[in-house]
Each structure stands twice: as structure tokens, then as C-alpha cells.
């Protein structure tokens, strides 16, 4: 097997080439770049096992009383809010151990359900449909991003909004010095071009209201 090439987990191209290898105290990892969808990803052989992932997530201090963390999440909520009808129902996808964004939205009268494979694993919520879905600091953890985006498209109502927040670079030339790749649970990295490619697959509208924030809208009924 040629380990300098691998299949992209987003677009399935088989020509994703290794373009960077990290040298961290915790061990080295290869990063591959896909020329089709512009995703940068870590091949599966470098992924943490489930127990290691969960232990890492439990170190995150997602405190609903932390005003700084609320301000951070407001970078997504502020541009998303004007597009939502008061009282509408949404899903916090990848809510984590402390679903602070869901708490903030409930305080404003929105109804928000939770899904997270480790901390809120009730898959029944993935059989309903929603007016909006939020996905904050989650996309970078997805081992099978296309499968997850297909799920999000399926459960988002027509004209519904999907708000995402994940680290994005203007240029992959800056990747080596980027802190974001040093987290061992971060395995997928997106650019604006990647997000535009995703939008094209589902005929979604896409906007970038702030750095590292993406708003998608699913088409309405024709």
C-alpha cells in the first residue's frame, strides 16, 4: 500500500496526497490534502481510539457560567439568530459534555435537542427533523465527514439553517505553524473551498459571516 496517497473521507477521491507530518511529543501524524474538495485530514491509522477521544473531551472546560466561553459561542449564535423564528426547534450536533450553546439558545426561547456520540448518544434524535442545527467545534473531529453531512442534510427541514464553527485557514501554506492540528482528536480540517464544495453537493446556500463560522441553508420546497 502506498501510504503517501489515501482516500479522502469527504469526497472519496483516491488521490489525496501526504503534505505534512507533525512531530509532537505525543507522536507523529501524517496529514493528507485532497485536491478535489480541499480537505486536509489525518489517515485512520493515526486516529485515537474511542476511550482516548472521550478522555480528551472531558478535559474541555465548557462551563455555562463562563462569560468568555459564552462570548466565543456567540460568534456563531449572533449571525444565526436573525434567520431563526422564535420558538423554533433545533439540534445541537456534537454537543459535548457541556452543551453551553444549547443552554444559551434555550434561554432565548428556542427548543434544542442534543446529540453527541459520547455524551448524548440517543440516536432517536437523528430520526426527527429540525428547523436549525448547530455544530460547534465538532466538524474537525469527524472520522467520516460525508456520512455525517448526509445525516445533517436528511434531518434538516427545507429552508432550514445549519450553523457550523470550526477552525479554517486562509492558506494551507500556514498549516505547519497552526495550533489547531496539534490536538490529537482533530482529524479533519476545512477551508472555505471545502465548505463551498460541501454546499454544492447538497445544493445548500453558504455564507461566511465571521472567521471560522459557516452558515448553510437548505433549499426550500420547489
Contacts of 5 (CB under 8 A, 6+ apart): 14, 15, 16, 17, 18, 32
Closest CA to 142 of 45, 57, 42: 42
Query: How many angstroms separate the CA atoms of 158 and 221, rounded?
Result: 6
Q: What is the pLDDT of residue 2?
A: 47
Burial 162-197 (b: 16+ CB within 10 A, else e): bbbbbbbbeebeebeeeeebeebebbbbbbeebbeb
Query: How many angstroms separate the CA atoms of 151 and 145, rounded?
Result: 10
User: 164 near 183, Cβ under 8 Å?
Assistant: no
User: 208 near 162, Cβ under 8 Å?
Assistant: no
Domain presence at residue 55: yes
Q: What is the pLDDT of residue 159?
A: 97
Domain presence at residue 130: yes
Q: What is the pLDDT of residue 26?
A: 67
**The domain spanning residue 107 has which CATH number?**
3.40.50.150
Domain presence at residue 99: yes
**pLDDT tens, position by position, for the chain (222 residues)?**
345 678 999 999 988 999 999 987 667 999 999 999 999 999 999 998 988 888 888 777 677 888 999 999 999 999 999 999 999 999 999 999 889 999 999 999 999 999 999 999 999 999 999 999 999 999 999 999 999 999 999 999 999 999 999 999 999 999 999 999 999 999 999 999 999 999 999 999 999 999 999 999 999 975
User: 69 near 219, Cβ under 8 Å?
Assistant: no
Neighbours of 207 (CB within 10 A): 14
Cell of 172: 494551507
93: Cα separation from own chain's centroid = 9
Query: How many angstroms separate the CA atoms of 32 and 35, rounded?
Result: 10
| Range(s) of the domain holding residue 58 | 49-167+184-217
Cell of 66: 463562563
User: 140 near 189, Cβ under 8 Å?
Assistant: yes
Report the domain count for the chain: 1
Domain presence at residue 141: yes
Query: How many angstroms separate the CA atoms of 117 and 151, rounded?
Result: 14
Domain presence at residue 115: yes
Domain presence at residue 105: yes
Contacts of 126 (CB under 8 A, 6+ apart): 115, 151, 155
Domain presence at residue 139: yes
Domain presence at residue 197: yes
Provide the β-strand partners of residue 92: 114, 134
Amino acid at each position: 500500500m502506498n501510504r503517501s496517497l489515501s482516500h479522502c473521507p469527504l469526497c472519496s477521491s483516491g488521490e489525496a496526497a501526504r503534505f505534512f507530518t507533525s512531530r509532537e511529543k505525543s507522536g507523529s501524524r501524517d496529514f493528507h490534502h485532497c485536491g478535489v474538495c480541499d480537505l486536509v485530514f489525518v489517515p485512520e491509522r493515526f486516529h485515537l481510539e474511542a476511550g482516548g477521544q472521550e478522555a480528551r473531551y472531558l478535559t474541555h472546560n465548557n462551563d455555562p457560567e463562563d462569560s468568555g466561553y459564552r462570548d466565543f459561542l456567540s460568534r456563531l449564535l449572533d449571525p444565526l439568530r436573525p434567520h431563526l423564528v422564535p420558538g423554533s426547534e433545533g439540534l445541537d450536533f456534537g454537543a459535548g459534555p457541556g452543551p453551553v450553546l444549547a443552554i444559551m439558545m434555550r434561554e432565548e426561547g428556542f427548543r434544542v435537542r442534543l446529540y453527541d456520540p459520547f455524551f448524548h448518544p440517543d440516536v432517536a434524535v437523528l430520526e426527527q427533523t429540525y428547523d436549525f442545527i448547530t455544530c460547534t467545534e465538532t466538524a474537525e473531529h469527524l472520522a467520516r465527514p460525508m456520512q455525517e453531512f448526509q445525516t445533517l442534510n436528511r434531518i434538516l427541514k427545507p429552508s432550514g439553517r445549519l450553523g457550523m464553527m470550526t477552525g479554517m485557514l486562509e492558506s494551507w501554506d500556514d498549516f505547519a505553524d497552526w495550533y489547531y492540528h496539534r490536538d490529537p482528536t482533530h482529524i479533519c480540517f476545512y477551508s472555505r473551498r471545502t465548505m463551498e464544495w460541501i454546499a454544492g453537493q447538497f445544493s445548500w446556500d453558504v455564507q461566511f459571516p465571521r472567521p471560522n463560522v459557516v452558515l448553510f441553508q437548505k433549499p426550500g420546497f420547489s
